[in-house]
Amino acid sequence: MLALKEVVGPGHQTPADVLEDASIVIAYYVPFTTKLAKTNAEYGRLASLEWALAYEETNAMFVHLNAHLIEFLESMGYKAAVAKDASKFPRDTLISNWSHRHFAYAAGLGTFGLNNMLITKSGCCGRYSTVATNLDVIPDSPLTEELCLYKKDGSCKVCIDNCPVTALSTSEYDRWQCYSLLRENAEIYTEFSSSYQDDTEESTAIKGSQVCGKCITASPCAFWQQPSSRSAIPALQK
């Protein structure tokens, strides 16, 4: 975990930045439903309204779920805290200073795919959250098994094909191109507000849901469906 400043960016926080005597970070994954994924996959270039709502509601749920987890840990005599930077999204770098996905990777929840998402053994169509704590347990280790089909054997590039703005390739992830579509969706879905706000002028100006999800809703790794059932979530219509 201490290498995250090199892997993610120099501004990335460590657990000790959040909790002075933190020993581990608890990372967990909440999968979306196939029904929700289907609404987004079938909607076309932009995200579906259902997807935008689920994104914001899940982020709001994490606030309450993490508070409950912290209360539980404190009742056992431990300390725990949530990183304030987890809810911020720097627009000058588009790189989070507290990456739930990278902590989840370090905890062994999954491996990164071509879509820059963390693929778990349950899939990648969902959301992650984390809590830093001084809980006295032995931490897990990163997976040794590769879960991205392309990285494993070159058999899949569905996420690349599904990206409406060609932000993905086998060699790089264009975060600025990706962000352009998030902004486009945010201009449409303003009724649910935005989970990511900070004190910058640009952040204050963005009132909508910065969502997309096209690379995780119609891919084999979304829910690890068997070939015979993948038709339940159709390929995207561009």
> Is the pLDDT confidence value at 88 over 90?
no
Q: How far apart are CA 79 and CA 73, in angstroms?
A: 7
Q: Is the pTM of this model over 0.75?
A: yes
Which residue, 103, 108, 112, is CA-closest to 143?
A: 108
What's the pLDDT tens digit per position in 34-58?
A: 999 999 999 999 999 999 999 999 9
What's the pLDDT tens digit per position in 104-125?
A: 999 999 999 999 999 999 999 9
Q: What is the largest CA-CA distance in the chain?
A: 53
pLDDT the model gives residue 11:
76
pLDDT the model gives residue 204:
55
Which amino acid is it at 69?
L
Which three-class secondary structure state does DSSP give residue 206?
Answer: coil
> Is the pLDDT confidence value at 2 over 60?
no
Q: How far apart are CA 208 and CA 99, in angstroms?
A: 21
Structure tokens at 184: 């486009």
* Averaged pLDDT of the chain: 89
